[in-house]
Structure formats: structure tokens, C-alpha cells
Structure 1
């Protein structure tokens, strides 16, 4: 709707400062011509909005102009309070700050939106960590977050899985990611990814670094996850599964894509595996509902285990 778009332009200029028509058009997913019309409408409504020509030009609001208009819809107000995850905020040392911010936003909302926001807070709770796993001990998380925010170099003693296990690293911390209850810091040079709970010692410094302008944390993390899964599932197994058998994870997706049904109703598919050991344990959980055809090493390993079980329970 046009009214919602006008509010968005006003808030974008208020929070970001000078923006070109092309920038606004890209942000709002409209044409530049539409932005021109919207800017004229805002000016006609008395909003002190100015346009400067030239290479460094763009639209801006008169210095000091602020609007009390939030532009929040009912759904946006609900999403705002749903996104306020208290656990991760507290881990970052921002628990009181988050509570204060939510209190101020709540006070500024119209009564009907405040009611919806309160309903969300009372009916939904986000718990990031998975089941059956102890919470990570991350005493250095606030210091890492501070380094991310202020672009300051860290010197850490880090524990990795391969030898030598304990290594010293200089980190230019670009960003923090919370994945399944576990914190990761993405740091240069590289960049590379480090688990915050594996930092054994940390020394903060006054040395500043320049974060690469082209670095996109979300894009990096998406690519990193894909690369991780590609490395993790570097082998394949040919299997047959009985009707109604439920696979999980990458194996389920692979079976759905390339599986085909034999005359006896079983589905034959090539699925990714991490290793012989991992696949051995995972496939045995399915009992007689799965048959491994290849690789021969995995089939023989499972056959030996099944024979041993048969002797044990004879």
C-alpha cells in the first residue's frame, strides 16, 4: 500500500540519512519513478525532505527532524516482541538493554498493538539449544561481542579438534552467529569460523581493524554451511528401504530426489554418508527396514554386527 510505503521512506531516511532514489527503490522493491512520486507526496504533506543533485546527492530529511510515527502493523508489532530472544541477549550482556528497549517500544505502541505484543510475549517462548545437550560455557562471549561491535583485535588461545589442539590466534571479529544454541565468531583474516566456547583464553586490545566493506555475514554463513555439509557428507551409500520407513536429514532429501520403487515396494536410493562408522550406527537404528547394497565395506560391517547380535540373542 502507498501509505505504508510512504512511512517506510520516511523511516529509512530518518534512520540511514541520505539515500538516493535508486537506493530507496531497491530497498522497497519498486521503480525509481514510484519513489519520485512518493517523495513528492511526502513533500506536499509538509515533510521537510530535500533532494540534492550530483554524484553525492540523494534525498535527506532536514537535520533534527524526527517523526513519532512508528508505522508498525499488528503483525510487525507481534514479530518485534517474538524476535526479542532473552537467552541470547543475556549471554551477550544485553539482557537489561533488551528489556528496557522492549519497555520503551511497548509504551510507544497504540493500545491495540500493545495488546497483541503482550499476547505474543505470553504465548511464545524461543529456546534455541537442542535437546540432550549441555549448554556451552561461553565466558568470553561478551568480550567477543564487544570486539565485533567496536572492530577491535582479539588475541585468543583456541582449542581445535586436530593436533596441535591448543593454538594462539589473532582475530579480527567480523560477526557473531547463534546456530542451534551455539555461538560462532566469524573472524579474519580469511575469514574463518571459530566456536566461542572453545576459546580458552582471551586478551582484548586497543588495536582496530577495518571490516571489509564487501563482507556480508548472512551470505558468508550460508556459504559456510553449504561447504560444511559438502565436506561432512563426502561419501555415498546405495540402500533399499522398506515401505513406510522414515529417513532424516540429507539422506531423506536424497531418497526423495533420486529414489525409485522396486517391484517389491522397497525404495532404492543413493544417499550421502559422513563415514562408514557413522552410517553403520545410523542405519542399524532402522533394523530390518533397511538394506545396504554399497559400499561393500559398509554392508559387510553391518552384516558382522547383525551376526553378532543374532549370536547374543540366540
Structure 2
């Protein structure tokens, strides 16, 4: 048996579990020193052979290096490929390069007829982009390429249990902040990714929009995953409720008096359902929104229609009164024609 054959034989034996050097030497009829050299060759080729000292020690492959084959039916493979085609339609896809190699392996397992159909996944599967939200205009996000890099780095850190250093931009406050996060999960909502992690410096949860990340880098600092944190805790936009309470404490809010029917209508909105509704009496409620932007508040009041009263801030109330008066004059002029 030559050196290459023996090294391959050692690799096959290690794939089945840990082996002592003396055991390998007896198996191949060589000296222990020769086994040492064979293992060094395997390591030089990039094969992660680990050594453990002691009476119970020996050589073994790094956990997860060799995995058993997975047998999938034709339907199961097609289902996975359709799912891959769907996530490729997102504005950013976690681990996009790894997704490409996985797809190539899955395609190789299909018959030619099925492979030709699934290879053109974008022709048979499509994703419709969410429509523009006219009541919640937002600043332009960071470039999509940066969002892809942020999602990839965050996912890589999560899989390797490594911290991720992130530089994040807040366009509303004109502020750029640096965070050192232990990744906990990813959430996709309204055509964008959110990064959920534990901020090391402040010892608190952090929820960041990936499309506002300027730079993301996996660090060499390992961490033990926090089993008490799950991205499922953010479902239902729990993060938005907390953020709106914080925004209320930090700035001025707009207040609108609305009827019960108008409040019920707003409670179905993805954003305004997390605002504060306080009883006023006579079946009316006071809506408090942590925003005084006229491009947001005035269209909302006009959309609500009669029965909605913009209470504050006073300057927006005066501006709305002027606009409504002008609309009434225009309507009266149109009626005279």
C-alpha cells in the first residue's frame, strides 16, 4: 500500500470515529511515526484532523467535516428548489453564494427533464414587491449590496458563534453607531431583513435594519449562544411597539382625536396599531403618534376624514385648517361651474 492509499484509508477510518495512532499503525502494518507523518499530510491538504492526548485520546475529524448523504425524493428536491427560487427573489438572500452551490448539488440529483424545468426557477416562481406605503415615507436605504453583505456576515457569525461588528446608520437622527453583537437571528418583514442580537457593551437586545448597515464584519470573539433569546419573540412587530414607546419619550408626538370606528380602522394598520389609544369619553379615543412630520400626519388625518380632529401640535393643526379651507373653497368653485 502506497502513501496515498494509506492516507485515504486513514481518512475513511477517522470518518467513522476516533482512532488511536497505535491502532492505525497496527491496521496498516506501519510504525506509529509513519502514521504521524500520514496525518501531517492530511492536515497539509486542509483536512481538519484533531488530536487528543491521554489514555483515551487519539485522532478524529473535526465535527461536521463529513456528513452522511441525504436521500431526497424527486418531489422533495423540487420543493427545495422552488423555495430557493423564492428566496433568490428577495432584495438580499442570506449566504447567497452557498445557496448557489447547494442548488447546483440538488439539480445534479434530478433527472434531465425535471432539471431543465427547475433550472429556470425564475420563469415559474415570482415574488411581488410590497407596494409603496404612502402614509409612512422613509429615507432611501443603504445600497442593496451593503444589505447583502450585512445579512451574510450576520448569518456567518450566527453559524460560527462569533460576534459581528456592525456600523449602523439612523437616517432620522443623522447618526452612525457601532455595535458589537452576538447574533441571535434574522427576521424578514416588508421586503427587508432585520438583525436580532445581543449588544455586548450595553448588555441588551438590539434589533437593526439590515438595509441601514454600512459595514459588517465577523470578529474572532466567540460566544456561547443565549438560549433565552429567540427571534420568534419579535413576531407581531413587538420591536415596533417598544420603539414607538421609546420615540415618545425622546421627542414630540402628534395627537389626533378619533371615533371608535376610525380607531378600529387604524388598529388594522401594520404601523398605527402599535400607537397609543387613550379613551377620551363619549366613545372617542385620543391617538398619540411619535411623529410630527406634516408629510405623514396631514395625509393621515385627511384619509381618516370627518370625525378626526388633529389636536396637536398647534402648527400642524393650523396648517391643516388652512388646507381644508382651501379645499372647501375649491369644491365650492367647482360646484358653481
State the TM bucket, normalised to the shorter chain.
0.5 to 0.7
Cα pair distance change 1:89/1:195, threshold 3 Å:
closer
For 1:178-197, list aligned pairs within 5 A.
178-189=188-199, 190-197=204-211
User: What secondary structure sits across from 1:207 in the alignment?
Assistant: strand
Q: Which residue of 1 aligns with 2:307?
A: 291
Q: Which residue of 2 aligns with 1:86?
A: 88
The CA deviation at 1:212 is: 0.4
For 1:104-183, list aligned pairs within 5 A.
104-108=105-109, 121-128=122-129, 130-131=131-132, 136-137=142-143, 138-139=145-146, 140-141=149-150, 142-160=152-170, 165-183=175-193
Distance 1:164 1:251 in 2: 22
The CA deviation at 1:71 is: 8.6
Asked if 2 retains the 8 angstrom alpha-carbon contact of 1:78 and 1:120, the reply is: no
The CA deviation at 1:117 is: 5.8
The CA deviation at 1:100 is: 3.7
1:212 aligns with 2:230: no
Distance 1:291 1:152 in 2: 54
Q: Which has the larger radius of gyration?
A: 2
The CA deviation at 1:67 is: 6.0
Distance 2:155 2:96 in 1: 10
1:199 aligns with 2:213: yes
Distance 2:109 2:160 in 1: 30
User: What secondary structure sits across from 2:123 in the alignment?
Assistant: helix
Q: Which residue of 2 aligns with 1:68?
A: 71
Cα pair distance change 1:146/1:65, threshold 3 Å:
closer
User: What secondary structure sits across from 1:283 in the alignment?
Assistant: helix
How many matched pairs? Answer: 234
TM-score, with length taken from structure 2:
0.50
Asked if 2 retains the 8 angstrom alpha-carbon contact of 1:241 and 1:291, the reply is: no
TM-score, with length taken from structure 1:
0.53
Cα deviation code 1:45-79 (max 9, x no counterpart): xxxxxxxxxxxxxxxxxxx9766354956xx9447
Cα pair distance change 1:82/1:194, threshold 3 Å:
same
Q: Which residue of 1 aligns with 2:321?
A: 303
Cα pair distance change 1:293/1:148, threshold 3 Å:
same
Distance 2:121 2:222 in 1: 41
Distance 1:135 1:163 in 2: 14
Q: Which residue of 1 aligns with 2:51?
A: none
User: What secondary structure sits across from 2:228 in the alignment?
Assistant: coil
Q: Which residue of 1 aligns with 2:27?
A: none
Gaps of 5+ in 1: 1-63, 255-267
Cα deviation code 1:259-312 (max 9, x no counterpart): xxxxxxxxx8748552464332212246xx533246476766532331245568
Cα pair distance change 1:162/1:115, threshold 3 Å:
closer
Cα deviation code 1:127-147 (max 9, x no counterpart): 556548866415242333322
